[in-house]
Amino acid sequence: DIDHLNLRVQKELVEWLNWLKADIGFDGWRFDFAKGYSADVAKIYIDRSEPSFAVAEIWTSLAYGGDGKPNLNQDQHRQELVNWVDKVGGKGPATTFDFTTKGILNVAVEGELWRLRGTDGKAPGMIGWWPAKAVTFVDNHDTGSTQHMWPFPSDRAMQGYAYILTHPGTPCIFYDHFFDWGLKEEIDRLVSVRTRHGIHNESKLQIIEADADLYLAEIDGKVIVKLGPRYDVGNLIPGGFKVAAHGNDYAVW
């Protein structure tokens, strides 16, 4: 175990980070198992190495109901993510992985898309509160891959990408999905839509519909995304929008 409160440990880790930055060329840090040490310690490492980007892994359990499914309200879960960023310094480069969005998406794409509209009418994950500091993802090396600890429904992965690549927050693409699953072209298409229309981590999200079989949202007035099997949504799409990407149970205009 590393004693992060030991001043010598802090000094040597800061020196190592600055060596990685100056000599190797890295300019962003991922804080693994950030629950294992305080945000105050992480702040020391960030402040003294000045990366352009830093993201923390704060993986805690969602609140579950008696049916074994996540509660609609996950405010306590996302509050923990927000608190970490607040303590490290909200004006700096610190962000956290949006595990709240990941957990809700996991269940929502299984015929419960109503979950993607929170009680306040906004996105129910961290992106609904502080999107500039939320790093969204569908799966990572822990949740998916060989460890398979909390995997996204494999046949619906592209619905997950249609969501995170059109929404506010900073989306993260999983290596396995991109290179091993044959999803590269579909993901590329969504990335190009995001880039072309300048969707960014603080883009404005308007949720049009959130039912069991349909989630429909407009981002920055430029992009509309649909998740779910409901086919006939033409009456909900404003004039002038054309399909730019589509696949199994998702479409983007």
For residues 181 and 150, what is the distance between their CA atoms, to the nearest angstrom? Answer: 18
Task: Report the candidate in 57, 3, 2, 4 with the shortest Cα–Cα distance to residue 32.
Answer: 57
What does the pLDDT read at residue 100? 98
Q: How far is CA 134 from CA 102, 160, 212, 227, in A?
A: 11, 16, 25, 21
For residues 105 and 47, what is the distance between their CA atoms, to the nearest angstrom? Answer: 33
Host H or E run for residue 206: strand 205-210
Buried b / exposed e over 173-212, threshold 16 CB at 10 Å, is bbebbeeebebeebbebbeebbeebebebebebebbbbee
207: its two tokens: 């949720």
For residues 244 and 212, what is the distance between their CA atoms, to the nearest angstrom? Answer: 24
Cβ count near 231 (within 10 Å):
11
Of the pLDDT bands very low, low, confident and very high (cuts 50, 70, 90), residue 198 is: very high
What does the pLDDT read at residue 143? 97
Q: What are phi and psi of 229, to 5 degrees?
A: -80, -10
The total number of residues shown for the chain amounts to 253
pLDDT at residue 234 is higher than 90: no
Do the bridges between strand 205-210 and strand 215-219 make them parallel or antiparallel, or are there none, so unpaired? Answer: antiparallel
Q: Residue 32 catalytic? A: yes
Given the residues 27, 57, 86, 142, select the one marked as catalytic: 57
143: its two tokens: 């949740």
Host H or E run for residue 216: strand 215-219
What does the pLDDT read at residue 48? 98
Q: Residue 180 catalytic? A: no
What does the pLDDT read at residue 64? 97
What does the pLDDT read at residue 155? 97
What does the pLDDT read at residue 1? 78
pLDDT at residue 247 is higher than 90: yes
User: pTM value?
Assistant: 0.97
Collapsed DSSP state (helix, strand, coil) of residue 170: strand
Q: What is the pLDDT of residues 122-179, one digit of tens each?
A: 999 999 999 999 999 999 999 999 999 999 999 999 999 999 999 999 999 999 999 9
Host H or E run for residue 188: helix 184-196
What the chain holds in terms of domains, given with CATH numbers, is 58-203 (3.20.20.80)
Q: What is the pLDDT of residues 91-124, one digit of tens each?
A: 999 999 999 999 999 999 999 999 999 999 999 9
Cβ count near 221 (within 10 Å):
11
Given the residues 1, 32, 185, 232, select the one marked as catalytic: 32
Host H or E run for residue 172: strand 170-172
Q: What is the pLDDT of residues 58-82, one digit of tens each?
A: 999 999 999 999 999 999 999 999 9
